[in-house]
Amino acid sequence: MNIVILTGAGISAESGVPTFRGPDGLWEGHRVEDVATPEAFERDPQLVHQFYNGRRAKLLDGTIHPNPAHKALARLAMLRAHRVTLVSQNIDDLHERGGSPAVLHMHGELLKSRCTECESVAVCREDLSRASICGACGGIDCLRPHVVWFGEMPFFLDEIAAAISTADLFVAIGTSGLVYPAAGFVSLARDAGARTLEINLEASAASGVFHESRRGKAGDLVPEWVEEMTR
Ligand code: NAD
Ligand code: ZN
């Protein structure tokens, strides 16, 4: 079976990474427009660097680990009983740490930087600032987090569309169904004839579009689903 899996911030919540919209409507205390848009970076690069430096430091501080949901998805891919395409909106590296062999990070990766001058992408486990120097071109004040901000084009859209067009099953896990184009993948999958399953803590904006919705914690429900798929 061809399976396309889309994960969102909810799959990393039990690992201790806060989801996007907290109860206060803010992302880690910030309005999204202030830290996750190209305009914000132009206006106040230091604030945007500080925000992502904080997220990166937290991801690396030793308290955050992949949970049973990340590990179960890795198991599903490694068993090779099905062809699995794993697409994540998450910028953390918990799928990789959980053992997933290939992840399409459509919104980029927190542990990478990109040069706005020469476009080179590099591993980045340190803080970034306006004083950072690009290892490829030697430029200064030209590095940014390799993440996709609101208003920017996500990565891998052609690969994702191709995988969805031949999918037998599309599964969305821990995503609110509010951020496009990812929120539209379920409709593309249905149009392509795939069965669609949502696994989420609560009803999402897209729940009505799925053939089936399972409500609960990803850490419980994802291992159960993987077990069903590999029996
Ligand atoms: P979102 O925060 O908008 O939605 C998360 C969804 O997960 C919610 O519907 C919530 O009910 C559900 N959820 C919460 N805890 C859960 C659990 N334990 N098990 C199952 N479901 C759970 O996230 P989104 O839809 O991914 O959109 C957010 C955007 O913010 C993305 O573009 C992403 O790049 C970015 N973001 C990434 C991270 C990360 O990398 N971990 C964290 C926050 C935000
Ligand atoms: Zn450069």
How confident is the model over 51-61, as pLDDT tens digits? 999 999 999 99
Mean pLDDT of the chain: 96
> Residue 87: which pLDDT band, with cuts at 50, 70 and 90?
very high
**Is 54 flagged in the annotation as binding?**
no
Q: What was the pLDDT predicted at 189?
A: 98
> Residue 27: which pLDDT band, with cuts at 50, 70 and 90?
confident
The Cα–Cα gap between 110 and 97 comes to 14
Burial of 190 (0-12, 13-18, 19+ CB in 10 A): middle
Of 12, 20, 200, the one to substitute when testing ligand 1's pocket (max ligand atoms within 8 A of C-beta) is 20
With respect to CATH, is domain 2-17+66-107+154-230 assigned 3.40.50.1220?
yes
Matching CATH number, 18-63+113-147, of 3.30.1600.10, 3.40.30.10, 2.140.10.10, 3.30.2130.10? 3.30.1600.10
Nearest ligand to the C-alpha atom of residue 136: 2
Helices (DSSP H) in 44-156: which residue ranges?
45-59, 68-79, 94-98
- Give the count of alpha carbons within 13 A of 34, CB side only: 9
How do residues 106-126 score in pLDDT, each as one tens digit? 999 999 999 999 999 999 999
> Residue 164: which pLDDT band, with cuts at 50, 70 and 90?
very high
Residue 89's alpha-carbon distances to 44, 48, 108, 217, 227, in angstroms, are 25, 19, 8, 18, 24
The Cα–Cα gap between 139 and 116 comes to 9
**Tokens linked to 212:** 């089936």
Is a pLDDT exceeding 90 seen at residue 20?
no
Is a pLDDT exceeding 80 seen at residue 75?
yes
Is a pLDDT exceeding 80 seen at residue 25?
no
pTM equals 0.96
> With a 6 A CB cut-off, is 93 part of the ligand 1 pocket?
no
Domain with CATH 3.40.50.1220 in the chain: 2-17+66-107+154-230
**Is 177 flagged in the annotation as binding?**
no
- Percent of the chain past pLDDT 90, that is, above it, reads 94
